Amino acid sequence: MIEVLQLESSEYMVDSKKWDMIIKEFLDYHMDEEMLRLGYKRRKTSLKYERKVDETKQIIEIVRHFNPSYKKDSDVHIYPMVQIENFKISSIALDMVGNVELLSNSPEVIIRQPIDLLAPKEYRNQWYVSGEDQLVTTLKEIKGFVLNWVIVFLDQYSSPEGIVKGYRENDSRPANTERWYIYVAASYYCLGDLKGALNVLKEEFNSLGKQKRYSNAFDYLVSRLEME
């Protein structure tokens, strides 16, 4: 009986290779050209769009979770991610904290988060798919979301100036994590505004626990301010 049940359940497992092929074909015929005009390139075997803006690398990745246990009536959960990297900002951030673990062991990654957080709440969505027909419809929705909301965000957050501007405007789109504030402070530093960088730490790390955790960052900025 157990073997029969296992066989029956396996019949409903999604063919992930086939579905990935459908996704890549959609990107190839319906999205690559528009993304290329915006500066984003994708290798034919990849589900990532990438572009370089000066020293900043930006990625839009089509992440999939097939047969999600948390949504049993769906074949796949598609949750595209954005990622931003900037070597100069990351290097300063790591110098400040002196501990790669405080940057989630990935100091090169300034931002990595689901794209749905980049739109106003009323436009946010979770993309669960049941059946191949719905997959294509969902990919069309995701394309529209990327063009309407994600590109605008990445255009702004393509430089230290953009990161500082977003912070000053209390932009809620970047995930407000502790590591994010380190990168914001590092962006101020890149612009030569050490006082602004220190003010970010004072504002965001105002508890004794956080001040202790990030004491190296405080000391790093204070010592350089004293040398001015």
pLDDT of residue 95: 98
Given a cut of 50, the residues of the chain with pLDDT beneath it are: 1-11
pLDDT of residue 228: 78
Close Cβ partners of 133 (under 8 Å, ≥ 6 residues apart): none
pLDDT of residue 12: 62
| 195: its two tokens | 């006082």
Mean pLDDT for the chain? Answer: 93
| 48: its two tokens | 């990532």
One-letter-per-residue 3-state SS of 35-104 = HHHCCCECCCCCCEEEEEECCEEEEEECCEEECCCCCCCCCEEECCEEEEEEHHHHHHHHHHHCCHHHHC
The rounded distance, in Å, linking the Cα atoms of 90 and 36 is 27
Q: How many C-beta atoms lie closer than 10 Å to residue 24's C-beta?
A: 18
Q: Rounded to whole angstroms, what are the CA distances from 191 to 34, 131, 226?
A: 33, 50, 18
**Cα maximum dimension of the chain:** 77
- Unique residue bearing structure tokens 């839009």: 60
CA atoms within 13 A on the CB side of 89: 33
pLDDT of residue 139: 97
The rounded distance, in Å, linking the Cα atoms of 55 and 157 is 12
| 194: its two tokens | 């050490």
Q: Which residues pair with 59 in a beta bridge?
A: 50, 83
* 214 three-state secondary structure: coil
Q: Hey, what amino acid is at 150?
A: V
Q: Rounded to whole angstroms, what are the CA distances from 145 to 25, 29, 114, 137?
A: 19, 18, 12, 13
